[in-house]
Chains A and B, each alone.
Chain A
Amino acid sequence: MATATVEVSPSRLQHRTRRSDMGDRIYEAVIKSIIWVVLAIFAGVFVVLVIGAWPAIKRFGLGFIVETGWDPVHLVFGALPFIVGTVIVALGAMVLAGGVGLMTAVCVTEVLPRWLQGPVTWLIEMLAFIPSVVYGLFGLLVLAPLLQSTVEMWLLEHLGARFAFFNGAPYGVGYLSAIVILAIMLLPLIVTLSREALILVPREMKEAGYGLGLERWSVVWHISVPFARNGIVGAFVLSLGRALGETIAVAMTIGGGFHLPTTIMDQGYTLASVIANEFNEVSSDMYLSALIYCGLILFVITVVVNILAYFIIRRLSGVHGFRA
């Protein structure tokens, strides 16, 4: 419990008249104006996006969201490949990170001896300190060539003849690299939050299970994890939000494809990464407008997901005290 000393000398108390009311009014005015400025900035972001996207909105309408084709010469643009790409990369990474992360959290809380739990948790949290561009560096120069020479070549040689899905061109960069790198980026978030949720499981619950004759694994998997479900779901939802907005690491590893994916080794783009890679390079004003339209779609998607996440987590935190 924090302590603080109140430094209010008696002489100051005697001066508490109009001046302090004035002080309070200034204080509230300052804070209120800060809030207005900040809300204006947020609104301004939306406004700028709409204005910038307007030529593309007028030209392509809402069909932009379901059209494919990205032709800078004939000025035909459709964002569906990027929307699909965003979903594939985010969901793929979330599933991968969720599986590995949850299992890791279980191991840290249930298997590791107490003296090991702290250091291992701290180590995994270190993953969160690595900036996005360093993940991209690792993905581009290490992971992509590795995936190309091992996984992709193996899939192509052994399954490529029979299944079109595996019959792609092994470039290394592409959805596979992007999903793996993004999954590593999401790991610390999932591990930390799942671990916190698992720690909160009351001992009585577990002991009830033992009392009923359950063995260790069943107690963990059928009692602890379901009890911590809300926190774990919260972790997943937060990681989804993070995954949707990840830009640079994806931009460096996803290879740059403007089409819908057909094979596992395909390249693609997410909404965020296509903007990052193309913004300074556009060849026409309509191209720029199309990119900003993509930004607007991304903005809407993230806002919707974040609002949903906020309400989901508020509901969850009420029940079991999970605090995001």
Chain B
Amino acid sequence: MASELKTSIDALGGRGSRRWRGLVGFGLTGVATLISLGALFSILGYLIYHGIGAINWAFLVKEPAAVGEAGGGIAPSLLGTAILVTISMIIGVPLGVGVGIYLSEIAGETPFARVARISINTFIGVPSIIVGIFVYFILVKPTNTFSAIAGGLALGIIMIPIMARTTEDVLRLVPNSIREAGLALGAPRWHVMLHVVLPAARAGVITGGILAVARVAGETAPLILTALGNEYYPSSLFKPIDEITLRILKYARGPYDVWHQQAYGAALLLVFGVAAGSLLLRLSMRAQGAPNR
């Protein structure tokens, strides 16, 4: 063991102060890595330690109990998350893929195309709370109600630039020869797009979609101003709806120990749900033989 250590240190090369510098330098990088991993493990550790006790059947199917009382669940939040994500996909995926197609296939170097490209790339970085303000004023105020539709719309708008970027990237990877082959055979452009290029890029687009969904499922800020929250199962798309991150926010900020435990439990579900989903995705992509991104 000691001799192996000596061999490794010798491999660093150098003499005297240079060797010390190397030891210290690489030592620091090791410390940094331990810090990074430590952050991950401590967060996951706390989630598991405090949250696992909260997860039981009642937690998954019951509505929240009255304030401070034990025994409630987060079922409306789970259902609400699914509904909001679905609505956001209905809005975000077609528009996002369409924009991606435009940027990759149709846009030239015209001023309009330049503006479009910069706008999309810029909008990815716009904070989601701003999108929430937008939807509050164009939908919540005029219809006089917070609603699932407003929440889904906000999430969908956030999804558009993400989907556009991924779609554009993936479409660019499709070799031009395939497009040219299709066109040479006499197929019209839309046919080549729909039946040749998109199928070739299918794996990447789906991956991009799932990543966008994972990203959007974790967005809380815009929902504060659009979906508001609900203590009951969603009964209408035109009424306020609960969502898992909204519930975590509410419970984490309160003083009740019951709330804290349920917040940890919900966080645990969310993190492992997202991680498991993406892991499954990677494995199935690899199984299908698609290029590993």
Contacts and interface: CB of A to CB of B under 8 A. Distances in A.
A and B found bound together: yes
Interface stretch (B54-62, B63-71, B117-125): B117-125
Contacts of A275: 129, 133
B111 interface: no
A276 B130 CA distance: 10
Interface stretch (A71-79, A102-110, A149-157, A259-267): A102-110
A140 B127 contact: no
B241 to A, nearest CB: 16
B231 to A, nearest CB: 16
A27 B187 contact: no
A4 B252 contact: no
Contacts of A30: 98
B185 interface: yes
B13 A214 contact: yes
B195 interface: yes
Nearest to A213: B13
Given A8-B187, A41-B157, A52-B137, A133 B220 contact: yes
Interface string B87-118: 00000001100110110001000000001101
Contacts of A191: 36
A310 B121 contact: yes
B133 A126 contact: no
B160 interface: yes
Interface in A33-67: 34-35, 37-39, 41-42, 44-45, 48-49, 51-52
What class of interface size applies to chain B in its complex with A?
35 or more
A13 B13 contact: no
Interface residues of A, number: 99
B30 A107 contact: yes
B275 interface: yes
B2 interface: no
Contact of A49 (B119, B133, B195): B133
Contacts of B40: 123-124, 126-127
A146 B280 CA distance: 36
Interface string A87-106: 00000000000011111101
Interface stretch (A160-168, A200-208, A228-236, A297-305): A297-305
Given A24-B188, A275-B129, A134 B200 contact: no
Contact of A104 (B33, B193, B200, B260): B33
Interface of A: 1-4, 6-8, 12-13, 16, 20-21, 23-24, 26-28, 30-32, 34-35, 37-39, 41-42, 44-45, 48-49, 51-52, 99-104, 106-108, 110-112, 120, 123-124, 126-127, 129-138, 140-142, 184, 187, 191, 210, 214-218, 220-221, 241-242, 244-248, 251-252, 272, 275-276, 279-280, 292, 295, 298-299, 302-303, 305-307, 309-310
8 contacts: A4-B199, A110-B29, A124-B40, A184-B43, A218-B22, A252-B249, A295-B130, A306-B122
What 9 pairs between A and B have smallest CB-CB spacing?
A131-B218, A215-B14, A215-B13, A217-B22, A103-B32, A34-B98, A27-B190, A245-B127, A107-B29
